[in-house]
Amino acid sequence: MNSQLLFTPAVSTQTELLTVFAVDNSTSKDKDARPEIALLTSDEAVKKSAGYVLSSGEFKAEANETLLLHAPEGLAATRLLIVGLGKAAKADIHAVRRAAGTAVRFAKPRGLRSLAILAPEGNFDPAQAIRATAEGAILADFDSDTYRTDRKDRSIESLSIVVPAAIDKSAAEAGHRDGVIIAESQNFARTLINEPGNRMTPTILGQRAAEMAAQYDLKCEVHSTDKLRELQMGAFLAVAQGSDEPPALITIRYEPKSVAPDAPVIGLVGKGITFDTGGISIKPADNMEKMKYDMAGGAAMIGAMRAIAQLNPAVKVIAIVCAAENMPSGKAVKPGDIVFAMSGKSVEVLNTDAEGRMVLADGLHYARELGATRLIDAATLTGAVAIALGQINAGVFANDEDPYQHFTKALETSGEKFWRLPVEDEYREQIRSSIADIQNTGLTRYGGAINAAMFLKEFVSDTPWLHLDIAGLAWQDAEKPWLAKGPTGVAVRSIVEWVRSYA
Ligand code: BES
Ligand code: ZN
Ligand code: ZN
């Protein structure tokens, strides 16, 4: 999708589909109360054109509700689409992002290849609103039906965001640029996640990362078994050893010309299990195909680096993706095996399906060795996080308030939902092993997501660190009005914003 800003009046915008957002100004809690619809535009021609149908009361401007008008009177556009943002009090930039997505997903099945969206005029920062509009539209254009041989490409070719004269032109351009870069990078991550295990091996993930890095002038190195041995990454190697596919240790570096004084070095660490069978502790057959998305955390880091390279923040960033395939075989690690992680800690492998924490243990330690002074990891780490938080919030864990405060700020911009879970010493006995320093699963099934976080914490020492458990949100089984089903690319936007907060 090609996205551009238009600085000409809405009334004269020639397009197959002109979209305008609407809110309900009524504060009544009564469901049957008549809505007080207001269009978020100052364009009198648009308001006049929609006035009659809105006065009918049929359209309530509920969030993502749509109303289509053909041949709108007085406008150059051939269709006018009104998309609701809900009650005015709740109509924030995140509602705008979803509503812009709803407009795109309205257009796609109708064969419309271009559309215009009126930048909303309301109680939000105009640049942020334009950014959210671009993000929502680009994210909504993604569909994951890649391997249908009769696939019809219904992608939107061109999006125009119509900017009213009252909005500062350079602020609009800056917001738009951010939105395009970040949403395209999130879609890039989704494309990687969508690939099945046979088409996204650790080696292929390494190649895709290297291609991206070359395109955006990032330094990238991809190493395999020999390097893992040299670095004594015994935990990562233990996961990889059961597969015929060699592992990939992907390192991507962003080194800006100028770095803000006192800026930390940021380390991004991603779980890149390209397929998780569970290994010898094999998973049940039902739903096992989903485990192709077990590299979503790694893909999020690669996507975030793609955006960071273009946004150019004044802070150094190192991304590490630990990619491997978790397979049962005659060479596979077995329950009870003891391995030594890169940090020197001994680990008893009680369950080979708890492989994500094993590869991240070495990835986190390695990031520190490369100089990272703030760490964030993202991983589809536990089913337990989805049991705890459902599929609405992802889990965030922190061993320090500073990175967590930066993260909550980042969420205000990204609109992604994360809920904090504890990492406290009282939980540590869950991972105490009778024979090694630690074991890779908890003594009990309770608090499984926390036990996994406690395991990771062993490998970050005193470095301020955030852990994102995205297992419940990385894949969406059902379509939303604003988003296709399939890989979501969750965490990309928040990670990018978090990194920028240190520049
Ligand atoms: N990749 C899974 C976690 C997962 C589950 C991701 C569902 C996405 C959806 C992870 O490697 C795993 O298998 N974790 C185990 C840990 C257990 C053995 C302690 C789990 O959650 O059951
Ligand atoms: Zn597993
Ligand atoms: Zn896994």
Active site residue 283: yes
pLDDT of res. 197: 98
CB atoms under 10 Å from CB of 390, counted, come to: 11
CB atoms under 10 Å from CB of 346, counted, come to: 16
* Cα gap 153→406, rounded to integer Å: 40
Sequence-distant (6+) residues with CB within 8 A of 336 are 348, 349, 350
Percent of the chain residues past pLDDT 90, beyond the cut: 95
Q: Does 228 have pLDDT greater than 90?
A: yes
* Cα gap 54→363, rounded to integer Å: 56
* Cα gap 111→100, rounded to integer Å: 17
Instruction: Tell the residue number behind the tokens 């329950």, with chain if given.
Output: 335
* Cα gap 137→482, rounded to integer Å: 8
Mark the residues whose beta carbon lies below 5 A from ion ligand 3: 273, 276, 294, 356
**Range scoring the smallest mean pLDDT among 148-157, 191-200, 221-230, 397-406:** 148-157
* Cα gap 360→215, rounded to integer Å: 27
Q: How far is the CA of 351 from the centre of ligand 1 (A)?
A: 10
* Cα gap 156→159, rounded to integer Å: 7
Binding site membership of 380 for ligand 1 (Cβ less than 6 Å): yes
Q: Give the CA distances from residue 414 to residues 318, 335, 347, 429, 481, in Å, rounded to whole numbers and listed in that order.
A: 21, 40, 37, 36, 19
pLDDT of res. 261: 85
* Cα gap 19→116, rounded to integer Å: 6
Helix (H) or strand (E) holding 375: strand 374-379
User: CA angle at residue 271 from 266 to 275, to 5 degrees?
Assistant: 160
Tell me the helices (H) and strands (E) count for the chain, helix number first.
13, 20
Q: Give the CA distances from residue 362 to residues 344, 369, 501, in Å, rounded to whole numbers and listed in that order.
A: 10, 10, 26
pLDDT tens sequence across 402-436: 999 999 999 999 999 999 999 999 999 999 999 99
Which residue out of 274, 277, 280, 353 has the highest number of ligand 1 atoms within 8 Å of its CB and is therefore the one to mutate?
A: 353
pLDDT tens sequence across 183-211: 999 999 999 999 999 999 999 999 999 99
* Cα gap 455→444, rounded to integer Å: 14
pLDDT tens sequence across 55-91: 988 999 999 999 999 999 999 999 999 999 999 999 9
pLDDT tens sequence across 340-390: 999 999 999 999 999 999 999 999 999 999 999 999 999 999 999 999 999
Beta-bridge mates of residue 19: 81, 117
Sequence-distant (6+) residues with CB within 8 A of 136 are 96, 97, 98, 99, 100, 101, 104, 183, 482
Question: What φ, ψ does residue 502 adopt, rounded to 5°?
Answer: -95, 0
Question: What φ, ψ does residue 143 adopt, rounded to 5°?
Answer: -135, 150
Pairing of β 475-476 and β 486-487: antiparallel
Sequence-distant (6+) residues with CB within 8 A of 202 are 224, 240, 245, 246, 247, 248, 272, 274, 323, 324, 325
Q: How far is the CA of 430 from the centre of ligand 3 (A)?
A: 20
Q: How far is the CA of 393 from the centre of ligand 3 (A)?
A: 19
Helix (H) or strand (E) holding 302: helix 296-311
Q: How far is the CA of 406 from the centre of ligand 2 (A)?
A: 30
Number of residues that this document lists for the chain? 503
Task: Indicate which residue of 108, 357, 493, 500 is catalytic.
Answer: 357
pLDDT-derived band at 31, boundaries 50, 70, 90: confident
pLDDT, averaged across the chain: 97
Ligand nearest to the CA of 388: 1
pLDDT of res. 34: 87
Binding site membership of 195 for ligand 1 (Cβ less than 6 Å): no
Q: Does 237 have pLDDT greater than 90?
A: yes
Q: Does 117 have pLDDT greater than 90?
A: yes
